Amino acid sequence: MDNRAGEMQIFVRVVETGSFSEAARQLLASPSTISKLVQRIEQRLGVRLFERSTRRLALTDEGRLYYERSQVLLAELDDIEQALAKGARHARGTVRVNASVGFGTWGIEPLLPAFWESHPDILVDLSLSDDLVDLYLERTDIAFRIGALGDSTLRARRIGVARRRMVAAPAYLDRHGVPAGIEDLDRHNCLGFNFRRASPVWPLRQGGRIVDRMVRGNLLANNGETVRRLAIAGVGIARLADFHIDRDIAAGRLVEVLAESGHDCEEVHALYPGGRHLPQRVRVFLDFMVPRLQAFIKRP
């Protein structure tokens, strides 16, 4: 009897645990049984799924593709069974969501109570991080991303456009002065980021052209919310998305500086794994959040 779904579940467990022995322990099986099952999959497909070494397992390109497609198929199977068991009108299950700290804190979190009023049986597993996550390896259903989209098998729904603005607290500007031009940033404390894609360069407009301006400061943080709070505390100048700091500007906690020099706008999307069938729990979350987040994002 064909049991490819069961084989896929075991293969996914091996990938996520990183070893045959740990997968075997969780599945109450022997490591040799798990290893032989993976070998059987490889023989049937005619490809190697893992590069094996004494220290670790690493997916081959074919193994990564099989892992990604297995996750989609298993999610579809789970959704079908849930729909038949409970009725197609009633969504339930877990939706794993990732977003940047600022977007999650100010955009997604305030919408969750109303979402649960309509969908009380959906568990939202929300992770906030300004680092980019691999949706397949992290078993993430939806990631809200700010910035250019790379080549990917992921599908996307556009949220809007976020513009980055330079801001500082009135107390900081009282002590250090208001920069009159981008060259004045050399004598200011510019708050930055330490994640991998971050750069100590701010793209700014000067004389009708875009220049990359090197900046320095005494803070490198891994999320925008930390940078925002320290800017409010008067530590230095921050460069953050407008949705993140517009309330602070309106309340007088932050003041925009060099408004004519800012230029960069970034697209905001909801990303999710591709597939012919989107799990119902993911679909209802997207359908609820996307139009409301579109209203949340300012458009240029």
State the pLDDT at residue 132: 75
Please compute the mean of the pLDDT values over residues 153-176 and round it to a whole number.
Answer: 90
Strands (E), the chain: 50-52, 57-59, 93-99, 122-128, 142-146, 155-168, 192-193, 201-206, 209-214, 220-221, 238-241, 255-256, 265-272
State the pLDDT at residue 288: 93
Domains of the chain: 4-84 (1.10.10.10), 93-156+267-298 (3.40.190.10), 162-266 (3.40.190.10)
Q: What are the DSSP calls for 222-252, one per residue?
A: SSHHHHHHHHHTTS-BEEEEHHHHHHHHHHT
How do residues 252-290 score in pLDDT, each as one tens digit?
A: 999 999 888 876 788 899 988 876 577 888 989 999 999
State the pLDDT at residue 196: 61
How do residues 213-233 score in pLDDT, each as one tens digit?
A: 888 999 889 888 999 999 999
Distance CA 15, CA 1 (A): 25
State the pLDDT at residue 124: 95
Segment (H or E) for 290: helix 280-296
Higher-pLDDT residue of 10 and 169 is 169
State the pLDDT at residue 267: 86
State the pLDDT at residue 300: 43
Q: Is 213 helix (H, G, I), strand (E, B) or coil?
A: strand
State the pLDDT at residue 182: 86
Q: What are the DSSP calls for 122-159, one per residue?
A: EEEEEEE-SS---TTTTT-SEEEEES---S-S-EEEEE
State the pLDDT at residue 197: 61
Q: Which residues contact 109 (CB under 8 A, 6 or more apart)?
A: 126
Distance CA 177, CA 254 (A): 14
Distance CA 65, CA 294 (A): 32
Assess whether pLDDT exceeds 80 at residue 194: yes
Distance CA 220, CA 235 (A): 12
CA distances from 275 to 67, 92, 125 (A): 14, 20, 21
Distance CA 223, CA 297 (A): 19
Please compute the mean of the pLDDT values over residues 70-77 and round it to a whole number.
Answer: 83
For the chain, the average pLDDT equals 85
Please compute the mean of the pLDDT values over residues 79-95 and round it to a whole number.
Answer: 69
How do residues 124-147 score in pLDDT, each as one tens digit?
A: 999 998 877 777 777 789 999 887
State the pLDDT at residue 227: 93
Whole-structure pTM value: 0.64
Contact 143/152 with Cβ under 8 angstroms? no
State the pLDDT at residue 134: 75
Say what angle helices 4-17 and 31-45 make with each other, to 10 degrees.
120
Please compute the mean of the pLDDT values over residues 180-209 and round it to a whole number.
Answer: 81
Burial class (CB in 10 A: 0-12, 13-18, 19+), 29: middle
Of 143, 70, 134, 141, the closest CA to residue 100 belongs to 143
Q: Which residues contact 61 (CB under 8 A, 6 or more apart)?
A: none
